[in-house]
Amino acid sequence: MSEKTSSKLIDGVRYVFRPWRTCPRTGRKIWAKEYGLKAWRIPIVEDRA
């Protein structure tokens, strides 16, 4: 990992990067470029079954 990222990797969590995400309240797409970002980092919790 580079020094620029301040987040820590957590066991059982992986991340996907998407240029949009859906607002949970309105259901509308929110684009990262409208906030000066290339993509949103979305955590995905993996089951350990």
> Per-residue pLDDT for the chain (49 aa), expressed as one digit of tens each?
444 444 556 678 888 999 999 999 999 999 999 999 999 999 888 776 6
Q: Is residue 38 part of a domain?
A: yes
The reported pLDDT for the residue numbered 37 is 96
Contact partners, residue 4, CB within 8 Å, separation at least 6? none
The reported pLDDT for the residue numbered 9 is 64
The reported pLDDT for the residue numbered 49 is 62
Token pair of 32 as six digits: 């990262």
- Find the domain containing 35 and state its range: 13-45
Q: Tell me the three state secondary structure of residue 34.
A: helix
Distance CA 24, CA 30 (A): 10
> Domain count of the chain?
1
Q: Is residue 3 part of a domain?
A: no
